[in-house]
Chain A
Amino acid sequence: MHSVTVKCEFLGGLDVIFGGVRKSECTVAAQEPPTVKDLMYHITETLLVDKKDFDVFVEDGTIRPGILVLINDTDWELEGEDEYVLQDGDVIAFTSTLHGG
C-alpha cells in the first residue's frame, strides 16, 4: 500500500459542495502510488456533503471540465492531469471557473 498526504483547496465557489470547507488535508492510500484521480475519488467519498453533487465535481471519470486544477500552483495540464502521481505535501487547488463574474 502506498499512502500520501496532500493539501486540498476548493476555490471559486466550489467549497459549497464540501460544506463550506475551503482547505482540507487528505491522506490517500492505494495499491499503486496514488494519483490525482485517486484523490478525486477520495474527496468525493470523504468530503462531499451531498452525494448528488458528485456530477458537479466528476464527469466521465475525471475532474469535470470547467474546474481548474492547480498542482503546487501549476496548471495540471502541464503535470499529466489526473495521472499525476501525488507527492507528500503537494497542494492541489480546485477552482471552479463556472461561477459568475
Chain B
Amino acid sequence: MPSRTPNLCQRCEANKAVMRRPKNLQKLCKECYFHVFETEIHLTIEKEKLFYPGEKVAIGASGGKDSTVLASILKTLNERYNYGVHLVLLSIDEGIVGYRDDSLATVKRNQQQYEMPLEIVSYKDLYNWTMDEIVSCSGVKSSCTYCGVLRRQALDRGAMKLGINHVVTGHNADDMAETVLMNLLRGDTARLESSTNITTKSTGSPIKRSKPFKYCYQKEIVLYAHYKKLDYFSTECTYAPEAFRGTARVLMKNLESVRPSCILDIIYSGEHFKLKQRKKRPGPKKPVTESQETEIRSDGSVSLRNNGNRCEKCGYLSTNKICKACILLQGLELSRAKLNIAAEAVPKVKEDELQHRLQHLSF
C-alpha cells in the first residue's frame, strides 16, 4: 500500500506540517509556525509604533489563553528585538468564586514563569462590591454590562497605581470581528467607526490601551499555547456571556468553516466603515461657545467637555460629572439596601404590611 504523502511545511519544505493557517491556508511545521506567528506580531507592533524604549507597559492578564500567550510573546519579542519596555502583569479580581480564584492562581504561576511583577486590583477594594454580590443583586442578565464597565475602569486605575500609561490586552482578531458584527447587529453607531482601532483611549483618561493580537486568529493563539505548552486557564466565566452575543459567535464560527479568512475580511470591512456626516441645518448662530456646552446623555450622565474632570463621587478621571462606574454602582446601592431589609428575615407578608404602614406614616 502506498504511504500517504506526508504534508510538508510549505515554508521550510523539510519538516512535517502540523497546522494550516486560516488566513492563507499555508501549511506550517511547528518551528516555522512559532517563527511566523511571533514575527507577524512584531510587524504589527512596529507598524503601529505601539511601544517606545523605556515605556512601562501593563499586560491585562486574566490567566486565560489570550493574555497568557500575550505575556509569553511580549517577553520573547522584547528580548529578541530590544523594545526596551518594562512589562508588568495586571490582573483584576472581579470576585467570582470558583472562576477567578483559579484563574488568578494561573496568573501567579505566570508571574514566576515570565519573571514579571504582578499587580492584582479587586472590585471589592475599588468599588466595595464583588461580582458575585452584584449578580445576586441585579441578576445574571446584566452581569456582562456591569463587569465590562467596572473592569475597564479597574484596569485603568490599576495601571495608574503602578504609574503606567499603557495597558495591552489579549483581544484577538476573532474578538474584533465579533465586535464589528455586534456593532452592526445592535446598530451601535457610536462604536462602529472606532471599534477596529488597534489603540484606543477613553476621553479624559491618560491610559492608552492597545491590542497587539488585533490580526491574530484565535485558532492560532490556541495552537501557539498548545504547542508551547503554556500554562493557561480555560473555564468559562460562571456568568456566561449574554445570549445575543452568543448567537453572533455561532454565526462567525459557521462562516469561518466556509470562508476561513472571514475574520480578517470582517476587520478589513470594519476599518472602512464611515458614518455619513449628519447634515447640519443652517440655523441662527448660537452665541454659546463649545466649552460652555453640557450634554445630558440618555443614561442620565452629564458630559463635561474639557478633559481632566473628576467624578464627583469617586474622584476618578471622567468626562462626566459622575463616572459610569459610579452611576451603575449607585443603582446597585439602592437595591442592596432593599436586600438588607429582606436579609433580616422579614417574612414576605410582614414586609408588605410594613410597607403599607410606612405609607400611612405622617411626620
Contact = CB atoms under 8 A, between A and B. Distances in A.
A101 B257 contact: no
Contact of A68 (B27, B62, B222): B222
A65 B257 CA distance: 7
A13 B253 contact: no
Nearest to B7: A78
Nearest to A66: B253
B204 interface: no
A16 B99 CA distance: 13
Categorize the interface residue count of chain A: 20 to 34
B235 A75 contact: no
Interface in B313-332: none
Nearest to B227: A73
A73 B223 CA distance: 10
A100 B247 CA distance: 16
Given A65-B253, A68-B223, A101 B64 contact: yes
A91 to B, nearest CB: 12
A12 B65 contact: yes
Contact of A101 (B17, B27, B66, B253): B66
Contacts of A95: 222, 226
Nearest to B16: A74
Interface in B212-257: 218-219, 221-223, 226-227, 234-237, 249, 253-254, 256-257
A98 B16 CA distance: 28
Interface stretch (B36-44, B129-137, B167-175, B284-292): B167-175
Interface in B167-209: 170-172, 174-175
A70 B33 CA distance: 15
Nearest to B21: A75
A99 B222 CA distance: 11
B223 A75 contact: yes
A12 B234 contact: yes
Interface string A54-71: 000000000011101010
Contacts of A96: 234
A25 interface: no
Contacts of A100: 62, 64, 234, 236-237
B231 to A, nearest CB: 13
A64 B236 CA distance: 17
B236 A97 contact: no
B122 interface: no
Contacts of A78: 7, 17-20, 27
B153 interface: no
A95 B253 CA distance: 14
A70 B226 contact: yes
Contact of A11 (B7, B18, B226): B226
A45 interface: no
Contacts of A73: 18, 227
A27 B180 CA distance: 44
B110 interface: no
A79 B219 CA distance: 17
A78 B62 CA distance: 32
29 contacts: A11-B234, A12-B222, A12-B234, A13-B235, A13-B236, A64-B253, A65-B254, A65-B256, A65-B257, A66-B249, A66-B253, A68-B219, A73-B18, A73-B227, A74-B17, A75-B223, A77-B20, A96-B234, A97-B174, A97-B222, A98-B249, A99-B234, A99-B236, A100-B234, A100-B236, A100-B237, A101-B171, A101-B175, A101-B221
The 9 closest A-B pairs by CB, nearest first: A101-B66, A65-B253, A13-B234, A75-B19, A66-B253, A101-B64, A74-B18, A65-B257, A12-B234
Interface of A: 11-13, 16, 64-66, 68, 70, 73-75, 77-78, 93, 95-101
